[in-house]
Structure 1
Amino acid sequence: MKKTGKCRLCGEVKKLSFEHVPPESAYNSTPVFFQDSENLHDKSSYVYGKRKRSSRGAGGMYFCVSCNNNTGGWYAKDYKEFAEIGMYVLRSRVYANKYMCAEYPIKPLNVLKQILIMFVALESSGYLIKRPGLKEFLMEPENNNLPENIRVFAYMTSTIKLRNALSFSNMDGYMRHFGEISYTPFGFHISIDTPPINKPYCEITNFAQFVYNEKAKIILPLQYLVPITYFPGLYK
């Protein structure tokens, strides 16, 4: 299934293909129901208050065939390994000091790039990919120059309902640019150009310090959070 449109990663008008978010191999191969901004906020829309169904899993026509194939080959399999460990931890409920603490033998840079690929795919305005240096960081596998104004955080979750890649909001008395993706076993929070909100996240921005395809054993204390709205940063 292909259509012509602007690729959200490279920015070129090409044939688009279905981009799974997260990767299909990371527990995203079965039909899902979800709600986005149109379902929740646009009262003039015929889908307001309803849910959308994606028969192929969560995702959409976001990237051109080339970007889809390239990023899938560079990063998706490494995210799959990360998700598999996370799913085991989630099901086993490995707790330490109220957090699910476990060791992840992963390729940190590759995993971080896949997470950011997911945010770029879901962010329709282009604000995120226009951050200076981000496109190069994602499209050049060995590039580890993550823009300093982007910070990424993680937590554990068992929801696949909330997918708001970018929000602009006054929270804690400060106008913030942030986004969030929730899909079992992880939730990811991104802060762009502004300080992060005060929530019990585990920051993984330092994954950018590793070399492409370098494997490392990373200990992550991830708190289990249950998002309660489409809006990022609010949990039970």
Structure 2
Amino acid sequence: MKKYGICKLCGKQSKLTFEHIPPEGAFNSKPVYFQDKENLLDKSSYRYGGRKRSNKGAGGYHLCKSCNNNTGSWYANDYIEFAKQGAYVLTHRVYANHFICAEYEIKPLNVLKQILTMFIALETSSYLIDRQGLRDFILDKESNQLPSNIRLLMYMTSTISLRNALSWSNMDGYARTFGEISYTPFGFHLSIDTPTINRPFCDITHFTSLAFNEEATVKLPLRHLIPSSMFPGIYL
């Protein structure tokens, strides 16, 4: 199948390629069912209340071949390794007050850039990629200059639910811009231009302090959360 459109990352008109979100090797190689805004919000649509099937796994045609190949070769394998370690931790560690604390041997900057690439690919309004400096941060693999108005946080989860890459909501008495991706073993919460919500997340924005391909042992106390809504920040 050939699809043409605007690449979510570089912004150029091009033939788009299927991108797995998360990467295929991160337990995303089998068919999945999902619901999007049409299924959940558009009561006038015959698809309302139903589900869609993706035979290739979770993902879609969001990036051009060049951006897909570059981010895949620079960051995807390091995220896959992170996810594999997370899956082991999820199934072998004992919860302590719903937190699972473990050490991960990863390349932190590479992992963070892959996560942000997933958010950019799923986001439909271009609000995220239009943040000054973000496109350069992703496309220049050596850069660690993440825009200061973006924070990335995470938790551990045993569910598959891509949820919203970007939402605007009044939560905790404050108008916020945030997004969320949940796909076992991890969930990621993105806060843009506004303070993060008061939830037991682990902030990983500091991954930018390392260099591209630099390996590190990071200790992450991750709360186990189960999303209860398509909207970010709401859990069982």
Moved more, 105-114 or 90-99: 90-99
Q: What does the per-residue CA deviation read over 1:51-97, in whole Å, with 9 as the maximum and x for residues that have no partner?
A: 11100000000000110001000000000000000000111134345
| 2:112 matched residue in structure 1 | 112
Structure 2 residues not aligned, in runs of 5+: none
Matched residue count: 236
| 1:218 matched residue in structure 2 | 218
RMSD: 0.9
| 1:7 matched residue in structure 2 | 7
1:77-156 to structure 2, matched below 5 A, reads 77-96=77-96, 98-156=98-156
Residue aligned with 1:165, SS: coil
Distance 1:96 1:217 in 2: 21
Q: TM-score, normalised by structure 2?
A: 0.98
Letter in 1 for 2:179: G
Residue aligned with 2:112, SS: helix
| 2:184 matched residue in structure 1 | 184
Letter in 2 for 1:220: L
| 2:74 matched residue in structure 1 | 74
Q: What does the per-residue CA deviation read over 1:186-210, in whole Å, with 9 as the maximum and x for residues that have no partner?
A: 0000000000000000000000111
1:150-169 to structure 2, matched below 5 A, reads 150-169=150-169
Letter in 2 for 1:56: K
Moved more, 225-234 or 158-167: 158-167
Pair 228,97 (structure 1): closer, same or farther in 2 beyond 3 Å: closer
Distance 1:96 1:171 in 2: 28
Q: What does the per-residue CA deviation read over 1:108-154, in whole Å, with 9 as the maximum and x for residues that have no partner?
A: 00000000000000001100000000000000000000000000001
Matched, 1:58 2:65: no
Q: CA deviation at 1:158?
A: 1.0
Distance 2:186 2:160 in 1: 9
Structure 1 residues not aligned, in runs of 5+: none
Alpha-carbon contact 1:106-1:218 (below 8 Å) kept: yes
Alpha-carbon contact 1:33-1:161 (below 8 Å) kept: no
Q: Stretches of 4+ moved more than 2 A in 1?
A: 93-98
Matched, 1:35 2:35: yes
| 1:21 matched residue in structure 2 | 21
Letter in 2 for 1:196: T
Q: TM-score, normalised by structure 1?
A: 0.98
Distance 1:78 1:46 in 2: 40
Distance 2:166 2:46 in 1: 23
Distance 2:230 2:93 in 1: 26
Distance 1:121 1:46 in 2: 26
Distance 2:206 2:214 in 1: 14
Q: CA deviation at 1:38?
A: 1.4
Residue aligned with 2:161, SS: coil
Distance 1:167 1:178 in 2: 5
